Amino acid sequence: MLKDKIIYLKEKLSELSFNEIKELTSTITISLSKKEELVELITILSMDKRKNVLALAKRIENALLREEAEFNRVREMYLFDKSFSKFRYVAGVDEVGRGPLAGPIVGAAVILDLNNLNDVILGIKDSKALSEQKREELDVIIREKAIAFSISVCTNKEIDTLGIAHCNNKIFLDACRTLPVEPQLVLSDGYPVRNLNKPNKYIIKGDAKSASIACASIIAKVFRDKLMKEYDAIYPGYGFNDNVGYGTQKHIDAIHNIGTCEIHRMSFLNNILSK
């Protein structure tokens, strides 16, 4: 317990070595829910005259300040969604995989609890700006905390038949229509959703402004990346495990050397195959 550690440090600080103090504080989680206790801990450590103890106090203080800044950043994203205040259920939709040479395009819709601004999902942003590990961690949290979420897919065959623009809109529609909770407003990233039959606002760079769009971006990206890694085992040689279908040089070279496979978007390959 953090409180017990604080009491112990308050009583024994001068008797403890730096390594003992460091070990005691190493397992402390920096969280705004424990801000009062953390401030007390920082104050106690700051009373010590040893430079390494003072440096430790400063590190904890800086970590707390970063946590607070992150909370405020994400809270602004929630407030952006909440600014459409007449709507109870606001869904954010986003897509992943519009540009690859292979694999599906994937869309996701997410409805967040915009009434509990003390329990925001820290770390959310455009999925491309996150590491794979961070995306996967957030994917679990989003699925746990969201009021509702849904994922939709258009295959490479559908993309070749219907066109990427049609499929982009279709996955937005499908994701919204399959949500277990019906949204009253849909916020979409970059494009309006045609034929939605409910209020829709499209937001330029929405995954940087809207919490629900950012969350949709993350779960769509994690879903598609995992799918492409599975395809890598079925169709080896193209590097799908790394490029997730995008046109890297290794991928293009493989197309020339071993040909195309079942998940390639043939309508995207005209220029490559003509060379």
Residue 155 buriedness (CB in 10 A; 0-12 / 13-18 / 19+):
middle
CA distance 199 to 240: 37
Q: What one-letter code names the amino acid at 55?
A: A
The pLDDT of residue 85 is above 90: no
Radius of gyration of the chain, Cα coordinates, nearest whole angstrom: 24
pLDDT digits (tens, 9 = 90+) for 218-240: 999 999 999 999 999 999 999 99
User: Is 139 within any annotated ligand binding site?
Assistant: no
94 carries a ligand binding annotation: yes
Please answer whether residues 19 and 50 qualify as being in contact, where contact means their C-beta atoms are separated by less than 8 angstroms: no
- Residues of the chain with pLDDT > 90, as a percent, come to 80
Mean pLDDT of 31-55: 92
Return d(Cα 111, Cα 139) in angstroms, integer: 14
Q: What is the pLDDT of residues 178-198, one digit of tens each?
A: 999 999 999 999 889 999 999
Q: According to the model, what pLDDT value does residue 152 have?
A: 98
273 — pLDDT class (breaks 50, 70, 90): confident
Q: What are 110-164's pLDDT values in tens digits?
A: 999 999 898 999 999 989 899 999 999 999 999 999 999 999 999 999 999 999 9
List Cβ neighbours of 125 (8 Å cut-off, separation of 6 or more).
207, 208, 214
Quote the pLDDT of residue 86.
80
Instruction: Please tell me the class of the 90-220 domain.
Output: alpha beta
